[in-house]
Amino acid sequence: MKSYDSMSDPPLEKKADKPKKVSPFSDIDLGRWREYEDIITDSLWLIPERDRSGAHLADYHGNFVPQIPYQAMRRFTKQGDTVLDAFLGSGTSLIECRRLGRHGIGIELKPELAQQATERIAGQENPYNIITQVLTGDSSDSARTPPAISKALKKTGKTQAQLVILHPPYHSIIKFSDLAEDLSGCRDVETFLRKFGQVVDVVTPFLEDGRFLVLVIGDMYAEKEWMPLGFHCMQEVMNRGYSLKSIVVKDMQNNRAKRNLENIWRYRALVGGFYIFKHEYVMFFRKGKRNG
């Protein structure tokens, strides 16, 4: 029988000592990459059903499926990192923060919605004891919002966040409120893009260099033409020192606005010479790293 000394392979214990190869911006153990079956790496996301577990509800018109922040956080944050969502809405991303053990800061313009989101988030178990904070305000306000973000970050023991999520309203598709600062109420696309750019300006100093910003947005029709709103917003982000890492196309199943109206929309599409929107984009940008 051979002793270990005479074998070419090192003893098993030695192999196990090998340092773990971990991604620089996530908890994914790259030595066991085959085991992460839940993590999507393709650019086409067909999500058949909304995750309705935990505190997630689908009652807020315009919320995204929890799978979007889930995927973004699993790939681009580590446990204990802080996530900043500048358009919090009903609180989906902060509920995911609690489930995944990431601190979360969300900004929402509508006070009553911010309150509802706070209650909903509190209804989600907090096994990692992380801090979630909902700020009521205008994300594009460069005077008032940065100090509020700084203060919230300090409570999580940080000066910067490790992931930014932006799910802005699509200009004029769903009007979220009558508030003058509401992006959905902008009088034209130029104003919408300028305001959206201001939001990117506000959040950028609070994102750690080399970390990710995720933008969830779709296109729209305006005056019988396809308006590539998603790509215009993409350009606003890229103009501010971000590199584009991926454009994911995500399906829109059961679009509430069009539910039960499929035949009418199909007829209109055939008459008008257009295609019915069935997708939106989830765009991933990295701050400050061109070739990383």
Chain residues binding ligand SAM by CB under 6 A are 60, 62-64, 87, 89-90, 92, 107-110, 113, 138-140, 167, 169, 176-177, 181-184
Q: Least distance in Å: CB of 83 to ligand SAM? A: 12
Q: Least distance in Å: CB of 64 to ligand SAM? A: 5
Helix (H), strand (E), coil (C) string for 208-245: EEEEEEEEEECCEEECCEEECHHHHHHHHHHCCCEEEE
CB closer to ligand SAM out of 68 and 130:
68
Q: Least distance in Å: CB of 38 to ligand SAM? A: 20
CB closer to ligand SAM out of 27 and 181:
181
What contacts 24, CB < 8 A, 6 or more positions away?
Answer: 210
Type of residue numbered 3: S
CB closer to ligand SAM out of 182 and 201:
182
Q: Where are the beta strands (DSSP E) in 86-206?
A: 103-108, 132-136, 161-166
Q: Least distance in Å: CB of 40 to ligand SAM? A: 19
Q: Half-sphere exposure of 113 toward its Cβ, with a 13 Å CA cutoff? A: 21
Q: Least distance in Å: CB of 77 to ligand SAM? A: 17
Q: Which tokens in the block code for residue 32?
A: 């066991």
CB closer to ligand SAM out of 166 and 292:
166
Strands 279-287 vs 242-251: parallel, antiparallel or unpaired: antiparallel
Q: Which tokens in the block code for residue 96?
A: 């995911």
CB closer to ligand SAM out of 150 and 243:
150
- Cα dist from 178 to 70, 118, 137, 147, 175, whole Å: 31, 22, 14, 25, 8
